[in-house]
Amino acid sequence: IGVGLVGFGLFFVLFGMLLYFDSVLLAFGNILFLSGLVFIIGFRRTFTFFFQRPKLKGTSFFLGGVLIVLMRWPLLGMLLEAYGFITLFR
């Protein structure tokens, strides 16, 4: 279930970017991606991964970007998410 949710989340994010940053598709993709991550590695491990002290900057940018996308500012939100994603997995 988790791999499917992550796959659909990535599909919706890419499809939303192809359709000129459609905020509904991007928000749906973000929610599916995060819920799929929780299904794959579990809630506790996801929480400890995102909220480690050295990764708080990346987490704040990534989750802030998700929040900005949900507030229908897709371009700014995706830029913040991309920076947070790069900072998290560096």
Query: Scanning the structure block, which residue is given the tokens 């579990």?
Result: 42
pLDDT number for residue 56: 96
Would the pLDDT of 5 be above 90?
A: yes
| Region 70-86 average pLDDT | 95
0.95 exceeded by pTM: no
Quick: pLDDT tens for 8-27. Answer: 999 999 999 999 999 999 99
Would the pLDDT of 90 be above 90?
A: no
CB 80 within 8 A of CB 61: yes
Quick: pLDDT tens for 18-75. Answer: 999 999 999 999 999 999 999 999 999 999 999 999 999 999 999 999 999 999 999 9
Query: Scanning the structure block, which residue is given the tokens 């499917």?
Result: 4
Q: C-alpha distances in angstroms, 5 versus 10, 17, 28, 41, 44?
A: 9, 18, 11, 13, 18
CB 25 within 8 A of CB 7: no
